[in-house]
Structure 1
Amino acid sequence: MTDSQTLSLPDNASLFTRLRVALQALQVLKNDPANATCGQLLNICLDLNVYASLAQQLQRSEEGRRMLSERPSLQGKELDLTVLERLPEGTLGHAFARYFRDNKISPFETTLELKDDIDVIGKRYRETHDLLHVLTGYGTDVVGEMELQAYALGNLGIHTAVLILLFGTFERLKERQPGVGMSEYLRRLRAAYHRGRASQQFLGFWFEHHWETPVATLRARLCAPAERMN
């Protein structure tokens, strides 16, 4: 049985090694889908080149270089949800704290060592997942999660999102899940993907500086308008 505590990705790992570690991480995630360390490790294994490209993009601006240098964190130990929930209703901080309470979940945590900018990008991607739910308005049900993956794929080109979308769609076809029909499901994924492509890249945004900003203001600034569903 694979132990998440012993899993690591060597420096300058080959594609074969990255795939081997990714499969080991998947074995853990099958039984422990909330395992933050293996989730981040899986992302880095599959998206190493994507993260390297994103890090290079951030290095081109003063703000991006500062983010990579200061490494801001949205991990649970950095967040005081009680304080955030006291902020006025409609602000990002209040909505973010309520999101965790309403869904009975906890903020992202990882013990993965940050050795370089690629690791920083991988961690940032994982820890902004819940913020993106708040910002985009996509739900935490199965369809909403798939919409958010499609949005991230369009916005960043994340390979892990492709894997999740393929797996989720296959499971939907196999089990013929009730609710949203397949044609509507695919339409919503396409809309989310194109919305992500048309939106400002979110990884370089300092959400930590905007807890008191209304969600509506940030949504208008960072997200392209959502397609209206009939």
Structure 2
Amino acid sequence: MSDAQTLSLPDNASLFTRLRVASQCLGVLKEDPTNPTAGQTFNLSLNANVYASLVQQFQRGEEGRRLLSERPSLQGKELDLTAFERMPEGTLGHEFARYYRDNKIFPFETTLELENDIHFISKRYRETHDLLHVLTGYGTDVVGEMELQAYVLGNLGLRTTAFVLLNGTIGLLKTPQSSIGRSEYLQRLWAAFRRGRASPQFLSVRFEDHWETPVATLRARLCAPANG
């Protein structure tokens, strides 16, 4: 049976069904972290109502309305990382390309068909994940990923981030950590959550217009101080 069959999300699904599908998706993602069907279904299973609220917010602002109208893409096939690397050091484009090179990873790709604005916001959130690492400065190690999830939870209130944080934190706290103690770990999550909550909502930003903008400029505009 295919992923599309086993990980389908019915229209107007109940909360119980959404939680069940989300759990199934997590099970698939543990074995295959890049599985596109599991990733996008997990994202929509818990966040559809939040995305609907975000669509309404976007419609109230010029930049948000432009995003909904044009539906730009940050998928890998749309990005010229070689050209970005030639941009001045410190610019968003240059640091974004460096991020992929240093972490030996590739830009996001999806199979999701954009049937409506909610699907677009869902896709947009997932493809800005790596950009948010660059802007916030949170690492790509386990703790850094959990910090970014906490930041997004504070900034957007996405339910999947709470789900990931709960599962990730339970796993981390069960395993002795040599690099970070439990108290410090929880403090860092709380600080990231508060930082995200104090920061402007980032998802309506058209990052495609800012490849030549210094990261420091965008960080000052979009992110509250890390220790604020």
TM-score range relative to shorter protein:
over 0.9
Q: How many residues align?
A: 227
Instruction: Compute the displacement of 1:112 (Å).
Output: 1.1
Distance across 2 between alignment mates of 1:142 and 1:30: 14
Moved more, 216-225 or 58-67: 58-67
Distance across 2 between alignment mates of 1:83 and 1:124: 22
CA deviation map 1:109-159 (0-9, x unaligned): 000111111111111111000000000000111111111000000000011
Q: Contact between 2:138 and 2:147, CA under 8 Å: does it hold in 1?
A: yes
Residue 100 of structure 1 aligns with an amino acid whose one-letter code is Y
Aligned to 1:208: 208
Q: Contact between 2:63 and 2:205, CA under 8 Å: does it hold in 1?
A: no
Q: Contact between 1:81 and 1:97, CA under 8 Å: does it hold in 2?
A: yes
Aligned to 1:36: 36
Instruction: Compute the displacement of 1:5 (Å).
Output: 4.2
Aligned to 2:129: 129
Distance across 2 between alignment mates of 1:211 and 1:14: 41
**1:77 is paired with a residue of what secondary structure?**
helix
Runs of 4+ with deviation above 4 angstroms:
none
Length-normalised TM-score, structure 1:
0.94
CA deviation map 1:181-227 (0-9, x unaligned): 11111111111100001101010001110000000000001100111
Distance across 2 between alignment mates of 1:5 and 1:97: 32
Residue 140 of structure 2 aligns with an amino acid whose one-letter code is T
Distance across 1 between alignment mates of 2:29 and 2:2: 11
Distance across 2 between alignment mates of 1:17 and 1:173: 28
Aligned in 2, Cα 1:30/1:13: closer, same or farther, shift over 3 Å?
same
Instruction: Compute the displacement of 1:16 (Å).
Output: 4.0
CA deviation map 1:142-179 (0-9, x unaligned): 11111100000000001111111111111111111211
Residues 7-156 of structure 1 correspond to what in structure 2 (within 5 A)?
Answer: 7-156=7-156
Q: Contact between 1:85 and 1:98, CA under 8 Å: does it hold in 2?
A: yes
Distance across 2 between alignment mates of 1:199 and 1:163: 22
Distance across 2 between alignment mates of 1:116 and 1:17: 22
CA deviation map 1:62-86 (0-9, x unaligned): 3212211211110001101111111
**2:201 is paired with a residue of what secondary structure?**
coil
Distance across 2 between alignment mates of 1:30 and 1:56: 33
Length-normalised TM-score, structure 2:
0.94
Unaligned runs of 5+ in 1: none
Aligned to 1:3: 2
% identity of equivalent residues: 73
Q: Contact between 2:136 and 2:219, CA under 8 Å: does it hold in 1?
A: yes
Q: Aligned-pair RMSD on alpha carbons?
A: 1.5
Instruction: Compute the displacement of 1:19 (Å).
Output: 3.2
